[in-house]
Amino acid sequence: MALSPVIGKLLHKRVVLASASPRRREILSQAGLRFEVVPSRFKETLDKASFPAPYAYAMETAKQKALEVAARMYQKDLRAPDVVIGADTIVTVGGLILEKPVDKQDAYRMLSMLNGKEHSVFTGVAIIHCCSKGGQLDTDVCQFHEETTVRFSRLSEELLWEYIDSGEPMDKAGGYGIQALGGMLVEYVRGDFLNVVGFPLNHFCKKLVELYYPPGRHDVRRVKHDSIPAVDTFEDLSDVEGGGSDPAGGIEGGPGGQAAAGTRGAEANGAVESPPPFPADLLELIDGFKASKALFTACKLKVFDVLKDEAPLKAAEVAGRIDASVCGTGRLLDACVALGLLEKTDGGYRNTEVASRHLASDGEYSLHGLVTRHDDHAWELFTRLEVAVRQGPNAVAGGKVEDPAQSQQTTLQFMRAMHGLSKLTARRVATAFDLSRFTSACDLGGCTGALAHELAHEYPRMRVTVFDLPDVLEHVACFQPGGRPSERISFVPGDFFKDSLPEAELYVLSRILHDWPDDQVHALLGRLSGRCKPGGGVLVAEETVDEDPAAARSNLAAALSLLVRPRGRGRSGAEYRDLLEQHGFRDVRVAAAAGGALHLLLGTRASPP
Ligand SMILES: O=c1[nH]cc([C@@H]2O[C@H](COP(=O)(O)OP(=O)(O)OP(=O)(O)O)[C@@H](O)[C@H]2O)c(=O)[nH]1
């Protein structure tokens, strides 16, 4: 039984799983998919260093696995399957990619790296549609990846070896099987569990929905099957019945051109023209700004704070607490229910878990500051997007001139926004690479010290200096856990363009460089490189504007923000790597964090020639 109707779209196709993994076979067959298994012969030897991020490596390997099977099957009997699915699972820790261990020692090496730490598991998936064009195999590749975060407990050597001796690690990425004995090593999992096991079923189904957006059933039924010309193309993937790549196969009808083909056929037969698929996603996008504004307003009026303290409350009670009209408050609360931020019961409204955790103004992972900053600042900047697009980046420079009386408030607001964002990603930034060789670090522009705290927590030998402008450091006390910083963290006021940089083995630039134009980035890296001793390091964390289509959605906000901001510029991961190399940093290692939204680079200062 296929619970996801979209799986049914594949039931009439010849589907091949290009994998020897028994887990993938089990996950897909339990989802109701019917397929053949043809293990790929592709050797997993792609050059990892040539990929901008680990997930890109996993996606490419998955694609090559699937393409190898499609080509081999086509060569054998000149009839490729309709769909070939390939996947590749990797584990990343400390900037390294771990695959399946080659022997017990290798398994021990991997498990020791994971011991007591958080790591990421990426599965790259390729869904390849095949067809025959002019006697040649033609393929249409759809790729995606999924990231899951896993943390291991701290485990004794004895336990590690006992686990290795069980034999379980040997055919598993990272040397453990979370679904079996390896589950005992795991403290927590954030994200899709099946992704760790080897196949992100949920994301796969969503991709299929994108590919096979179902046409209105009635429309399809009106079409006489035998009157439609056979279509030998994969351009439109939504079919009604029959295999795709067999030239004598059945009809196809679906989104875009495919639906059009079906419609033309129907018209020729006197059937009624069918409307296009309902563009629900597009309409949601068109209205997206209203959703953001409802969220901003509810945050600003502290609706989530009120409902965190007391709930459920009726609209009139909330209106009383936030000093607003009953009618307006009721509308806003209902909008928040529709957006999944509140729940409505007979007793009244209450926060969802996400709202309490992230939208109330207190709490460790509050994003209230970020929301307020977006409402007061980003919203206005984005009204000038059209100008920025027409005239190019920096055309909207200047923007609102800030009232000096308000600048303290603005600084605090900025700090709250950055603090919320940093708290969410700091652990991932601190643990993406093994930084234990550094005993001192300096976080340039480290603001409230959120990342400094994670570094100090993760590396017990490390002392961390937060270097930031005096105006910023004036307010840091209210962001320290328990009201004071840890003993190993110090705050030093200064301007990284002018003042002498504190001495450190590792310099950290987290979300700093995008804010500056090239000449200032060179000036800063030049100063930093001059201060950093050979063997010392630089850690950069940035949102990038890479052109990888898989990351396009998460890049979008960063790319557009950089267009409307008064200074700075978006850069790709490769540009950041070049910049570090130009300033004497070598062996630049790359990792991704926060679901690929953050690009991390660790470079080592080479000895001057
Ligand atoms: O917790 C778990 N983590 C990983 C696995 C299994 O590990 C392998 C990953 O290797 P790969 O992606 O290269 O896949 P292969 O097994 O080699 O099959 P291919 O034909 O695709 O090359 C994968 O089998 C996961 O299921 C696990 O079981 N648990």
The answer for residues whose C-beta is within 8 angstroms of residue 184's C-beta and 6 or more apart is none
Tokens describing residue 590: 């790359």
For 178, the enclosing helix (H) or strand (E) is none
Look at the chain and count its residues: 609
Is pLDDT above 90 for 406? no
- The values of phi and psi at residue 471, to 5°, are -60, -35
Is 150 close to ligand 1, i.e. is its CB under 6 Å away? no
Q: What is the DSSP letter of 274?
A: P
List C-alpha distances in Å: 323 to 293, 307, 326, 330, 489. Answer: 19, 14, 9, 13, 42
Ligand 1 atom at shortest distance from the alpha carbon of 88: 12
Lowest mean pLDDT across 256-265, 312-321, 334-343: 256-265
- Which range has the worst mean pLDDT, 81-90, 175-184, 322-331, 551-560? 551-560
Active-site residue identified among 47, 77, 82, 88: 88
Measured between alpha carbons, how far is residue 530 from residues 277, 523, 533, 538, 606 in Å?
60, 11, 8, 12, 11
Task: Establish whether residue 20 lines the binding site of ligand 1, counting it when its CB lies within 6 angstroms of any ligand atom.
Answer: yes
Starting from the edge strand earliest in sequence, which strands make up the sheet with 463-468, in order?
Answer: 489-493, 463-468, 440-444, 506-510, 537-542, 598-605, 585-593
pLDDT band at 313 (very low <50, low <70, confident <90, very high): very high
358: exposed, middle or buried (Cβ count in 10 Å: 0-12, 13-18, 19+)? buried
DSSP designation for 116: T
Q: Please, where are the H alpha helices in 443-601?
A: 450-458, 470-473, 518-531, 552-564, 573-582
Tell me: cis bond preceding 312? Omega within 30 of 0 counts. Answer: yes
Q: Pick the closest to residue 243 from 371, 80, 397, 435 (CA basis).
A: 80
ipTM score:
0.98
Tell me if 21 CB under 6 Å of ligand 1.
Answer: yes
Which pTM was predicted? 0.54
Give the Å distances, CA to CA, from 387 to 268, 373, 378, 394, 558. 47, 22, 15, 10, 17
Give the residue, out of 89, 147, 166, with the most ligand 1 atoms within 8 A of its beta carbon, to mutate for a pocket test: 89
Q: Evaluate whether 481 touches 457 at the Cβ level (below 8 Å).
A: no
Band of pLDDT at residue 82, cut at 50, 70 and 90: very high
For the Cβ of 178 lying below 6 angstroms from any atom of ligand 1, the answer is yes
The rounded Å distance from CA 173 to ligand 1 centre is 6
Three-state SS letters, 424-440: HHHHHHHHCCCCCCCCE
88 is a catalytic site residue: yes
527 touches ligand 1 (CB under 6 Å): no
User: Please, which residues have CB within 8 angstroms of residue 125's CB and are 6 or more apart in sequence?
Assistant: 59, 62, 85, 86, 87, 143, 144, 145, 146, 199, 200, 203, 204, 207
pLDDT greater at residue 11 or residue 84 = 84
Which among 124, 120, 175 is positioned nearest to 149, based on CA atoms? 120
CA 24 / ligand 1 centre spacing (Å):
8
Tens-digit pLDDT profile for residues 212-254: 864 444 333 333 322 222 233 343 444 433 333 433 333 233 3
493 CA to centre of ligand 1 in angstroms? 49
* pLDDT averaged over every residue in the chain: 84
Instruction: Convert the pLDDT of each residue in 7-45 to its tens digit.
Output: 877 877 899 999 999 999 999 998 889 889 999 999 999
Closest C-alpha among 154, 161, 149 to residue 185: 154
State residue 607's pLDDT score: 84
